Amino acid sequence: NGTGRKSSRHQSKTGRRLQEGKPVVGVLGGSKSDFPVLEKAGGILAELEIPYELLVVSAHRTPDRLFEYATAAAHRGIEVIIAGAGGAAHLPGMLAAKTHLPVIGVPIPTEHLRGLDSLLSIVQMPKGVPVATVAIGGAENAALLAAQILAGRYPEVAERVKTFRTAQTDSVLNSPEARGT
Ligand code: RP5
């Protein structure tokens, strides 16, 4: 049917983006100071050969840029957004308010409240506007979750996620601590 044809055209267009190395994941931080945490997401995405972009977009210091990014993201070929922020961490929620793309929130650890402020700011979204929130500082899991979302569309990503999981399991099973030797 017509819907099926449209969907397969979309798939091949976005599939090419992945193969051409054009970003399909947007990794955004509220400040450059969030980058040490968010670069851990970048490391996993690179390992899984998923092209991404890493940018500062601040909900409070650059609100217009936030709206511009969220409004244009899907059209630009971005398929998942990972957003990290600390303290009054409004970036993930405001992105989710402005785009239908899945948004994964990363609470950044903070000096005074150790990221509990970030976690609560990100996780307590009102119904109707979800943000998939990972653990405080849990940028690796944000990247893996993004990969698992993309895996439904890209068989090569699904294969890489499975390989990652197998290697992780093997590494635990083969450790001296698991062998008891
Ligand atoms: C938040 O304020 C950022 O996400 C960051 O975690 C925190 C502190 O930002 P800086 O003062 O280090 O730029 O908006």
The first and second tokens of residue 21, run together, are 């190395």
The answer to whether the beta carbons of residues 174 and 167 sit under 8 Å apart is no
Average pLDDT of the residues in 13-42: 92
**Interface confidence (ipTM) of the complex:** 0.97
Confidence band of 1 (pLDDT split at 50, 70, 90): very low
Tell me the CA distances in angstroms from 159 to 13, 102, 151, 154, 163, one per residue in order. Answer: 20, 21, 8, 9, 6
User: Is the pLDDT assigned to residue 16 strictly greater than 90?
Assistant: no
Confidence band of 13 (pLDDT split at 50, 70, 90): low
Task: Tell me the one-letter amino acid at 120.
Answer: L
Polymer length in residues for the chain:
181
- Ligand 1 pocket by Cβ (under 6 Å): 30-31, 33-34, 58, 85-87, 108
pLDDT at 3: 46
3-class secondary-structure state, position 48: coil
Query: 159: closest CA among 150, 169, 151?
Result: 151
Share the mean pLDDT of the chain: 93
pLDDT at 2: 45
Distance CA 55, CA 162 (A): 28
The pTM score is 0.92
Distance 4 CA to ligand 1 centre (A): 44
Of 121 and 5, the structure prediction assigns the larger pLDDT to 121
> Which structural domains are found in the chain, ordered by start?
17-160 (3.40.50.1970)
pLDDT at 159: 98
Q: Torsion angle, CA of 151/157/159/165, rounded to 10 degrees?
A: -80
Give the CA angle between residues 5, 6, 10 to the nearest 5°.
115
DSSP 26: E
Residue carrying structure tokens 């506007």? 129
61 is an annotated ligand-binding site residue: yes
pLDDT in tens, 28-79: 999 999 999 999 999 999 999 999 999 999 999 999 999 999 999 999 999 9
